Structure 1
Amino acid sequence: MARTRSENYDDIQQGILTAACELFAQQGYTRASIAELAEACRLSRGALYHYFQSKEAILFAILDAHVRQMIADVETAIASKSTTLDQFRVAIRAIVELNALSSNEQRLILNDLTFLSESEQAMIKSLERQIVDLVSDLLIRLDKEGKIVKRTKKIYTMMLFGILNFSHTWFDPAGGITPTEFADMIVDLFLYGFTMPTSQAVKKNALRQGA
């Protein structure tokens, strides 16, 4: 007879993912043992296997949930604005703000994705491409000078994601710059450049705030 689910099954399962994510990020996925994971979750090994079939299944669930949440956040942000520039700005904010809350997940997706099976890696990468495509489409629509062509599309897009994906290694969300401010700095730097005359920068900021 199949074992029935408890009323708090989903809460316990989410608690396992939260504890595992922290443990994997701190120790590394390969070094974290099932025994250590069970201890971190305050469960027996047998109880742990009731919720997930393997350590790999836990890693996949963490990464899958994180990337799906990012897709949902970016799509919601884009739908909330009408102009392409505003859509681009809030899309970047959504990515930065989620990453600021999910530094452990970011470490895992950058460092430990290869420990999943090939099929699981393919599923995560397919989801990641959805995010890249959403942002890339906005960049193309913003490109008024024809800089983004087939030969340069990936370069421009991944230059931007290079800033976004590795900021967790040094950016402190609790510091003097908020995640929203940081996201706007990324947008302004990427679209307008660091050497934009101050008068133009002030004018663009005033127009953005008045929108």
Structure 2
Amino acid sequence: MPRGRSASYDDQRTLILERAAALFAKHGYPSTSMNQVAQACELSKATLYHYYRDKYSLLVSIADGHVSRLAALVDDEATLALDSEARLRHLIHRIVEEYAGAQDAHRVLTEDVRFLEPQDRERVLGKERRVVAGFADAVAQVRPGAPGAPLAKPLTMLLFGMVNWMFTWMKPDGALSHAAMGPIVADLFLGGIGKVQLPPAAVPQAAPEP
């Protein structure tokens, strides 16, 4: 019987995708070579080709993998028994935290999806539409007495406008983590600026009395 792939094989593929995503995010997909990816992974070019046949297959795996995780997150949320506002808050918290470990992949998804072949691009964009539809449904549920349908998607896109570009200014070692930013985004979106609360961990502590 054929032998299955080892765990180290899958771990190596994951590492390659992470390093390639970092290079694509920094330099852009067209300006990144397989030599650069191999060097970043400390692999020979021949070994790199053992895992991925070309640079395009890396792009497809990064973009499709990232958006698939977001779509799975939305699908999972739909199974939870939460009221409308709690559901939307939980969605926002989870997607912000998902971006915490996927900033490079998210930049690739937003900036390099145009380099995908039509069939691959349509598949990735179809999953993006599923994510948007899931959030739009949650937004509409929060506004049961209002004409939700016409505004649900525009409001959702405004929400994503806050979330999608956090990677451009948030620092990994900054005062606010992605876990802290999730509730802030939810407060701002659902209640307005007056409802935003500073997370306890970010509140400056008074110096102890001598």
1:162 and 2:165 are equivalent in the alignment: no
* Equivalences for residues 1-211 of structure 1 within 5 A: 7=6, 8-150=8-150, 152-195=151-194
For structure 1, list consecutive stretches of 5 or more residues without a partner in the other structure: 203-211
CA-based RMSD: 2.3
- Measure how far apart 1:80 and its partner are: 4.1
- Measure how far apart 1:75 and its partner are: 3.4
- Measure how far apart 1:174 and its partner are: 3.4
Question: What CA distance in whole angstroms lies between the structure 1 residues aligned with 2:177 and 2:41?
Answer: 31
- Structure 1 counterpart of 2:63, which letter? L
Any conservation in 2 of the 1:71–1:131 contact (CA below 8 Å)? yes
Question: What CA distance in whole angstroms lies between the structure 1 residues aligned with 2:193 and 2:68?
Answer: 33
Question: What CA distance in whole angstroms lies between the structure 1 residues aligned with 2:126 and 2:53?
Answer: 23
Counterparts in 2 of 1:56 and 1:10: CA distance versus 1, 3 Å = same
Counterparts in 2 of 1:180 and 1:75: CA distance versus 1, 3 Å = farther
Normalising by structure 1, we get a TM-score of 0.82
Q: What SS does the corresponding residue of 1:79 show, helix, strand or coil? A: coil
- Structure 2 counterpart of 1:161, which letter? F
Q: Which moved more, 1:78-87 or 1:55-64?
A: 78-87
Question: What CA distance in whole angstroms lies between the structure 2 residues aligned with 1:192 and 1:110?
Answer: 28
- Measure how far apart 1:147 and its partner are: 4.1
Any conservation in 1 of the 2:139–2:152 contact (CA below 8 Å)? no
Question: What CA distance in whole angstroms lies between the structure 2 residues aligned with 1:190 and 1:46?
Answer: 49
> What are the superposed Cα offsets for residues 111-138 of structure 1, whole Å, 9 maximum, x if unpaired?
1111111111111111111111111101
Q: Which runs of at least 4 in structure 1 moved beyond 6 Å after TM superposition?
A: none
- Measure how far apart 1:173 and its partner are: 4.7
Question: What CA distance in whole angstroms lies between the structure 2 residues aligned with 1:5 and 1:30?
Answer: 34
- Measure how far apart 1:74 and its partner are: 3.4
Any conservation in 1 of the 2:132–2:153 contact (CA below 8 Å)? no
Any conservation in 1 of the 2:137–2:152 contact (CA below 8 Å)? no
Aligned to 2:205: none
* Percentage of pairs with the same residue: 30
- Measure how far apart 1:176 and its partner are: 2.2
- Measure how far apart 1:195 and its partner are: 4.4
Any conservation in 2 of the 1:34–1:45 contact (CA below 8 Å)? yes
Question: What CA distance in whole angstroms lies between the structure 2 residues aligned with 1:173 and 1:90?
Answer: 22
For structure 2, list consecutive stretches of 5 or more residues without a partner in the other structure: 198-210
Any conservation in 2 of the 1:38–1:44 contact (CA below 8 Å)? yes
Q: What SS does the corresponding residue of 1:149 show, helix, strand or coil? A: helix
Aligned to 1:209: none
- Structure 1 counterpart of 2:101, which letter? L
